Amino acid sequence: MAQSGDHPSVHFPFSMGNAPNVLLETVKHAEDGGSIVLRAHEHMGGKAKADFRISSEFPILKASVIDILENEIETVAFIMDNDGDQIIRLPFRSYEIKTIKLKLGDKLKKKQKRSGSVSSGGWVKIETE
C-alpha cells in the first residue's frame, strides 16, 4: 500500500508514516460491524516507531490494539497533527504484525470535486478520462 508521502496530491484516508519498513496491509470492517480494523507489519527485520495516520474525515472515538480474533489487548492514545489528521504511534519489532481497531464517530462531510473522478460511495475514487 502506498505511504502517505508517495503522492503529495493524493490524500489517503488511512496510511503509514515515519517508518518505511512498516506497511499497512489491511483496512477492513471489524467483525462487530461498527469499527474499522487496520493491520500493519514490519517487513525488513528491523525496529520502528510507525505512525498510523487517519484522515480527519474519520474522527476516532477509541483506538485499541487487538489480537487476530479482534479481542482488545490495550487502548492506545492518538494525537492530532496540524492538518487535523489523527496519528497513532506504535513501536514495531522485527517482522511484528500489529492490528488496530478504530471506533469512529460520524464521518465528516466534505465537498468533493466531481470533475475527473467518480466516487463508489466508499473510500475509493475511480479516475475517469
Return the pLDDT at 36: 96
| pLDDT digits 0-9 by tens, 74-108 | 999 999 999 899 999 999 999 999 999 999 988 76
CB of 57 closer than 8 Å to CB of 122: no
User: What gap in Å lies between CA 53 and CA 1, rounded to an integer?
Assistant: 13
**Confidence check: pLDDT of 69 > 80:** yes
Residue entry with cell 525496529: 47
What number of other Cβ atoms are within 10 A of residue 1's Cβ? Answer: 13
pTM score? 0.74
Average pLDDT, the chain: 84
Fold of 14-127: Immunoglobulin-like (2.60.40)
**pLDDT at residue 10, rounded to an integer:** 61
Q: What is the CA radius of gyration of the chain?
A: 15
Please report where in the chains the cell 496519528 appears, as a residue: 87
Q: How far is CA 50 from CA 9, 15, 41, 45, 124, in A?
A: 22, 10, 10, 14, 24
List the one residue out of 54, 13, 36, 41 whose CA is nearest residue 101.
36
Q: 10 or 93: which carries more pLDDT confidence?
A: 93
Q: Work out the average pLDDT over 108-126.
A: 52
Least confident span in 4-8, 51-55, 66-70, 77-81: 4-8
